[in-house]
Amino acid sequence: MAIRSLSVARLRMPLTLPYTIAYETVVAAENILVQLQEDGGRSGWGIAAPDPLVTGETLEASAQAIDEVIRPHVIGTDPGRVARLAVALERLAGHAPAARAAVEMAVLDLLGRRAGMPLYRLLGGYRTRILTSVTIGISSVAETLAEAGERMRQGFRALKIKGGRDLDEDVERLIRLRELAGLRMRLRFDANQAYTAEQALALVERTRSANLEVIEQPTPRAALRALRTVQRRSPVPVMADESLLNLFDAFRLARGRLVDLVNIKLMKAGGIQPALSAISVSRSSGIAVMVGCMDESELGIAAGLAVALARPGVVAADLDGHLDLEGDPASGMLRLTRGVLHPSPAPGLGVRPEIEERLEEAMGEAPLGIAGP
């Protein structure tokens, strides 16, 4: 069966709890919902979460890439040749990784539904669940502790703390947070490129009592020498995020063994298959992988979870981008218990009939571009 139509719609989902990172404050998730239909009427669903500062795309540019560049190539193709499709999408829309990720996600969802199997099993099925961290943005010490206390009451066992605006305050927040959370809580710190190597090492030294699990992207994305300096001198494992945007970046980080971990996100990588390739490259050099996400619908989180569950090289997950979103039509696809994410047993990404009905409604409410063949 061939793909007969591709439709896109805009999703704007306000955050019930806006948060701040080193370079911006986030108040809503802006996503693009993608629906593919094959002959016979079966659908596959995907989501794009473009970000000009991360993926290099605006929402409008991503939608335009899907509608004008990707769509004409996809219509009439066999979704079973998904590897060939991924190569073509990279050639046609290399500038739009989130757009490519959404369409490839929809194709793989379609294939999973056709096969009657959850996508994580089709991709490898190495594990059946994974612990996720939940993010706490930059705020005062008191606000950080209050939010952390609430997340702990919700059952989360791993917290990722954003920082990078004030070294002294970051140190105090982390030390106080460890005192509140106790020794069993996993604490991760993300500077979002805001520190110099010297500042990052100072934070590591001053927060020894906080027992950090990892420090993520402490230095600017292009400053690989500084990143390497932190990794060589830090007793805390160092993770790259913004420094890894594509498969070549994964190779460059692995070749020099510049970090201990990498944060692979589908929206940066350009889809599920490129993400799996980046995991393999990283693992070949002994670099562990965390699968992360953008602020995105639970549909996109389900795809990230499928990748995290599929491969042994993944040791951690930061798949919390769907939490606290208002009006997410895919809400309820996944199960979260005590900070552990479980996939849906339904085929593909896990779009059950009641969720598909909501997705169809969302597709009709804010369509973008031209639907159909």
Q: Which helix (H) or strand (E) holds 301?
A: helix 298-310
Return the pLDDT at 361: 96
Q: How confident is the model at residue 193, as a pLDDT?
A: 96
Rounded to a whole number of angstroms, the distance between the first and last alpha carbons of the chain is 15
Cα distances from 307 to residues 64, 286, 290, 337, in angstroms, run 27, 19, 10, 19
For every one of its 373 residues, what pLDDT tens digit does the chain have, with 9 covering 90 and above?
A: 899 999 999 999 999 999 999 878 899 999 999 999 999 899 999 999 999 999 999 999 999 999 999 999 999 999 999 999 999 999 999 999 999 999 999 999 999 999 999 999 999 999 999 999 999 999 999 999 999 999 999 999 999 999 999 999 999 999 999 999 999 999 999 999 999 999 999 999 999 999 999 999 999 999 999 999 999 999 999 999 999 999 999 999 999 999 999 999 999 999 999 999 999 999 999 999 999 999 999 999 999 999 999 999 999 999 999 999 999 999 999 999 999 999 999 999 999 999 999 999 999 987 775 444 4
Centre a 10 Å sphere on the Cβ of residue 27 and count the other Cβ atoms it contains.
12
Burial class, 332, CB count within 10 angstroms (exposed 0-12 / middle 13-18 / buried 19+): middle
pLDDT at 369: 56
Predicted local distance difference test score (pLDDT) of residue 335: 97
Contact 232, 194 (CB under 8 A): no
Q: How far apart are CA 195 and CA 214, in angstroms?
A: 15
pLDDT of residue 370: 44
Domains of the chain: 3-116+352-368 (3.30.390.10), 121-342 (3.20.20.120)
Q: How many helices (H) and strands (E) does the chain have?
A: 14, 15
Which residues partner with 186 through β-bridges? 158
7, 3, 2, 46: which is closest to 296 by C-alpha?
Answer: 46
